[in-house]
Amino acid sequence: MIAVDIISDGIFAAVAAMGFGSISDPPVRAFPYIAILAAVGHAARYCLMTFLGVDIVSASLVAAVIIGTGSVWFGRRVFCPMTVLYIPALLPMVPGTYAYKTVFSLIMFFQEISSPTQGSEYLQAMIYNGAVSFSVLFTLGVGATIPVFLLRERANSMTRGSKFI
């Protein structure tokens, strides 16, 4: 049953990533790699959070590094920039629930401003959810670009030269 959860998490992330990728019009040959990167990265984050108890920010950082590294390796095979591969693969990991709760708490804070107790609860929820949202988005960006610095030669030569290098 655990394997089914991991596989289904990866499949849903792959479908979402291909949907996000389709709006930026990448080459058709890039879609399988976008799906693989999203599935592996999202499944890795799911496993870290579910089985090891890692927080969402740290798990997202690890998953983003995995996706960034994979995009460097697959970029040469697909012959396209790594951003074409990793941006759609990262989008399913954007913390939509936390962002929604942030905005909801902000709205409710201004509606409940007359009640100090209720207002402070919404303010706390807004700050917490906003901090988590920002932290995850920041670590996704940083984690995906770390491989560019670690694998500089490979990342810079991805779309230069012959396709069969």
Residue 164 lies in a domain: no
Does residue 118 fall inside a structural domain? Answer: yes
State yes or no: pLDDT of 106 exceeds 70. Answer: yes
Tell whether 161 is covered by a domain.
no
Joined together, the tokens standing for residue 77 give 């095979």
Residue 81 pLDDT level (bands cut at 50, 70, 90)? confident
Per-residue model confidence (pLDDT) at position 158? 53
Residue that wins the pLDDT comparison between 48 and 114: 48
Give the per-residue pLDDT at 164.
Answer: 44
Q: How far apart are CA 126 and CA 123, in angstroms?
A: 5
pLDDT for residue 119 = 80
Determine, yes or no, domain membership for 152.
yes
Domain that holds residue 13: 2-156
Inside any domain, residue 163: no
Residues 46 and 14 sit within 8 Å (Cβ to Cβ): no
How many domains would you assign to the chain? 1
Asked whether the beta carbons of 121 and 162 are under 8 A apart, the reply is no
Tell me which residue of 16, 4, 26 sits closest to 90, measured CA to CA: 16
The residue with greater pLDDT, 12 or 81, is 12
The reply to whether 23 falls in a domain is yes
